[in-house]
Structure 1
Amino acid sequence: MAEAVAPPGIDILMPYYGDVALMQESVRSVLSQTDPDWHLTVVDDGEAAGVPEWFAALGDERVSYLRNPVNLGVSGNFQKCLGLARRERMVMIGCDDQLMPNYVARVRELERTRPGVGLIQPGVEVIDEHGEPVMGLADTIKRRLYAPKELHDGGPMSLAGEELAASLLRGNWLYFPSLCWRTDAIKASRGFREDLRVVQDLAVIIELVEKGESLLADSVPAFRYRRHSGSESSIAAVDGSRFDESRRFFTATADRMDEIGWPRAALVARRHRAVRLHALSLAPTALRQHDTALFRRLVRYAASTK
């Protein structure tokens, strides 16, 4: 039997929970695309009133809406969305992020320069909870310290193999919700692991890089990433749980990089300096909150060399 061929176009998948108004803004940003080569699927993991009716009123055959009968949680809902992807490419947009009108057009243009590329990172503008452009310390470091210098010169640029793995393990400068994936590549991965909350995106990316997939990164803005204090990563950072998770991930990844003969990537993973510096930056906050136990935990993690 001949293998089924994925239809062309981009599946835009939105695992939804949280603020209704921000989700609606995200959906409208998809509807505003200049290139019609897309389909949006929203998978609702919540119980907010009026949401099914709002989608029904859209009356747009390019938009599908599903509500989970039981709550699946973040990883479970991500995994369900992944299973619904049918087209050649897919993007897992955050339910409070926005596509710029040129997103689909720009991604398709980039793809034509590198047919079959595993991941495409378009240019990203960071916005706050009010939709205003913002550039805090985390994003400044991500772009100026960890992103390749060549990307600042205009891009697009291609990376693969140990060079890409080492770059991302030094500091993950990608914006996961903006990434456009080749669907068959991400579907062949382990997907979104239940044992990971904060670094699950990096885990999937490193797995694909190990399997030989490459990244095409661009500097032309096409995506708006919302940065606010209520994000999953911010909450995990406050209680220190992200660092326990990070230690497990980077230790296991370092061992794996050694196994496949990528010693530079292994060394970077073993050191994971960016995450340790992040822990140290949170220590003063723990002191201000009179949480001495958390303060000691953060300092110990920052000082750790394993």
Structure 2
Amino acid sequence: MVDGLVSIIMPSWNTGRFIAESIQSVINQTYQNWELLIVDDCSTDNTDEVVAGFADKRIRYFKNEKNSGAAVTRNRAMREAKGEWIAFLDSDDLWSSEKLEKQLAFMNKHGYVFSYHDYVKIDEESQPLNIYVTGPEIVTKRGMYNYGYPGCLTFMYSAKAMGLIQIKDIKKNNDYAILLKLCKIADCYLLKENLAQYRIRKKSISHDKVTKKLKSHYDLFHFCDEQSAPMAFWYACWNMWYGLMKKRMYEKRIVHQKNHF
């Protein structure tokens, strides 16, 4: 484990259209002590060519031998990580140039080992959707079971404090599965500043119908978190309710975005 190094976990699958912009947002960081671990899950597009176009030695590129899903892919990247800190960026999302610097300063100042921050939503053409997303100032274990408030592109944790995190092979909600493991060790604190852009895609899992979402949440709590079937169903329903409350309480439309990008 290398002190001060941030290991950035980036799974990829057929995101050749977006991944160059995502990688560039990492290269543009004002905090330069990072490694980017890209694990490709057998893409059939031009992802290989796009990643090969970056000569930065801090970028480490791996390929799965067979298509395995995001959970297995993230697990592999976390096993390869050498950093004191672990952060996540999907291969179609973007960070502001000061994301790492500001989040690390926030955590070091207060002695936090787990944090997240605000973000905004963009479309497939990187155009703003004028939706600002925040969350509770502190997400406790109970709060995290209510809802996975931290967006995957926003949370960071100390590998020294949390150790190696590995999750079971579930096809959806695998980022939430990571959060459920982390919240059992430490609370998650909010840095109230927009430091990322989350891309909404037309075929995004986020747009699954209610019944499919309920099933995926049940699988998360039952198979991955090993809750009993009745408790998993309760958490799944409760989570869906809190999802509606999150949109009302923590998502707002804005007229003008302050652009850090």
Task: Identify whether the pair has TM-score above 0.5, normalized to the shorter chain.
Answer: yes
Question: Counterparts in 2 of 1:138-287, with a 5 A limit?
Answer: 143=134, 147-148=135-136, 157=137, 159=138, 164-189=140-165, 191-194=166-169, 196-211=170-185, 213-234=186-207, 237-238=208-209, 240-250=211-221, 270=235, 272-275=237-240
Q: 2:12 aligns with which of 5, 16, 21?
A: 16
- The residue aligned with 1:52 is 48
What amino acid does structure 1 have at the position aligned with 2:25?
S
Q: Which structure dedicates a bigger proportion of its chain to strand?
A: 2
Question: Counterparts in 2 of 1:58-207, with a 5 A limit?
Answer: 58-115=54-111, 117-135=112-130, 143=134, 147-148=135-136, 157=137, 159=138, 164-189=140-165, 191-194=166-169, 196-207=170-181
Equivalent position SS for 1:90: strand
Higher CA-based Rg: 1
2:141·2:187 contact (CA, 8 Å) conserved in 1?
no
CA positional deviation for 1:274: 4.5
Aligned residues: 241
Distance 1:42 1:240, change over 3 A: same
1:124·1:219 contact (CA, 8 Å) conserved in 2?
no
CA positional deviation for 1:48: 3.7
Q: State the percentage of identical aligned residues.
A: 17
Q: Output the CA distance in 2 between the equivalents of 1:244 and 1:75.
A: 17
Structure 1 residue ranges without an equivalent (≥5): 149-156, 257-265, 280-306
Distance 1:30 1:249, change over 3 A: closer
Aligned alpha-carbon RMSD (Å): 3.1
Structure 2 residue ranges without an equivalent (≥5): 245-261
Using the size of structure 2 for normalisation, the TM-score is 0.78
CA positional deviation for 1:20: 0.6
CA positional deviation for 1:14: 0.9
